[in-house]
Every structure is written in C-alpha cells, then in structure tokens.
Amino acid sequence: MSAADFVPPGADLEGLRRAAGGCKGCHLYEDATQTVFSKGPATARVVLVGEQPGDVEDRRGEPFVGPAGKLLDRAIEEAGLDPKDTYTTNAVKHFKFTPAAGGKRRIHATPDAREVAECRPWLVAEFGLLDPEIVVALGATAAKALFGPAFRVTKSRGMLLPWPASAYEPAQFDREDEAARAGAYALATLHPSAVLRSDDREPAFQGLVADLRVAAGALG
Ligand code: URA
Ligand code: SF4
C-alpha cells in the first residue's frame, strides 16, 4: 500500500488536497482525526516541509497551527521571509501518536521510514505543481524524505544545497519547466519542536532564525 493509489493524475493543488482527505495509503489514517495537507499558495517562492501534523493540527486540519507552528511563524518573520510567500507542508499527512497512559492526551510518535515512504507520493505530487526558489526541510524526518535516508541534519544544517528537482519531476513536465527549476536551492534546519524541547531555548531559536536567514538570502 502507498499514497500512490490515491493521487489523482493531473490534479491541481485543490484536487490533491481533496483526494488526500480520503487517503488510506498507510495505517495512520485509522487513528487520526483527518488528513492535514498544506497551506500557502502554489506560487510560493519558499517551501517549508515539516514532519507530520501535531495534536492541534490534527484537530484543526491545518499544518503548523500549534505551538511549533507559532514558533515557526516568529522565526520566519525574524528571518525576513514573507509569510505570504511560503507554502508549508509535511512529509507525513496524518498525526501519528500514542495515547498517554490513562488520559486523553495523545503523545507525538515519530513516523518511521516506511510511513514516510508510503506518504511520499503526496509530497512528489505537490512538488510537481510548486516552483520554489528554496525548499527548507524542518528536522530529520523531512530532510530524509527530501534528500534520502543518509542525510544528516546535524552535519548539514544551514548549508545551501542544490534542490534535487529531477527527483520530483512528474512525467508530464516538459524540458522548459525542468530548466526553470534547475536553479532552486534546498536547506535543512532543525525542527521548531526541537527548539521548544531545548533546555536553552533562545540560542536554539536564534539558530533556526540564522538558518532561515540563509534561505532568505538565497531568494533572487
Ligand atoms: N510539526 C510538524 O512537523 N508539522 C506540523 O504541521 C506541526 C508540527
Ligand atoms: Fe495516506 Fe499519508 Fe495519511 Fe498514510 S499518512 S494514510 S499515506 S495521507
């Protein structure tokens, strides 16, 4: 099973969003409230990819609207990026969690490599419609989904990398589109949740902002 069976060929972003609402490409849809797809315009010059929706996102149906999202919004602002020019999505579109013993609380569980691979057709379909100048991976799960399992955020964070656009080219794109994408960049940084968990929050936040400033500097 994978999301590939649910991605409608030739769909626009709205069509993808609608279809993703009914995805059963892996088991994660069973316990989550709803699919959380993406936010932002297809024309965005900056694309940010997170891990998976959290508890708040699962209830609201929108990515990055909980505590990590609020922190990310502040970092985007401080880095001088235009929030209206960003598109935000996740490597995995359903919330994976374990119930806390006895209570109603749901504890975030990291999606494994198989779940990320099963959800990846949505990410590939999104990039088929997007035309970013820079793609930002937030944390290890997103970075591995975008750049492969050997990628280490700890080694490469904050470095401008070439965006491997060809890995995301759907067959229907012609050579002109490929050429237009060739100049794009990619960058990995830590996940905003890692800043929230950090013992030393302010320097961790400033590190995230510094990485996003590198991304802002790459915009033409
Ligand atoms: N963390 C993520 O990676 N994505 C969200 O949408 C929210 C929190
Ligand atoms: Fe489909 Fe992804 Fe949800 Fe799994 S996590 S059911 S592949 S949208």
Identify the structural domains of the chain with CATH numbers, from first to last.
3-218 (3.40.470.10)
pLDDT in the model for residue 179:
47
pLDDT in the model for residue 100:
84
pLDDT in the model for residue 182:
57
- List residues near ligand 1 (CB under 6 A): 50-54, 57, 63-64, 66, 68-69, 90, 193
Two structure tokens written together for 47: 């694309």
**How would you write the pLDDT of the chain (220 residues) with one tens digit per residue?**
999 999 999 999 999 999 999 999 999 999 999 999 999 999 999 999 999 999 999 999 999 999 999 999 999 999 999 999 999 999 999 999 998 887 778 999 999 999 999 999 999 999 999 999 999 999 999 999 999 989 999 999 999 999 987 777 554 445 455 545 557 999 999 999 999 999 999 999 999 999 999 999 999 7
pLDDT in the model for residue 183:
74
Best mutation site among 48, 64, 73, 87 for ligand 1 pocket (most ligand atoms within 8 Å of CB)? 64
- Give the distance (Å) from ligand 1 centre to CA of residue 10: 27
Ligand 2 atom closest to the Cα of residue 118 is 7
Separation of alpha carbons 183 and 181, rounded Å: 6
pTM: 0.94
Q: Does any ligand 2 atom lie closer than 6 A to the CB of residue 91?
A: no
Q: Is residue 135 helix, strand or coil?
A: strand
Q: Does any ligand 2 atom lie closer than 6 A to the CB of residue 152?
A: no
**What are the start-end ranges of the E strands in the chain?**
38-39, 46-50, 86-90, 97-99, 106-108, 134-138, 161-162, 185-189
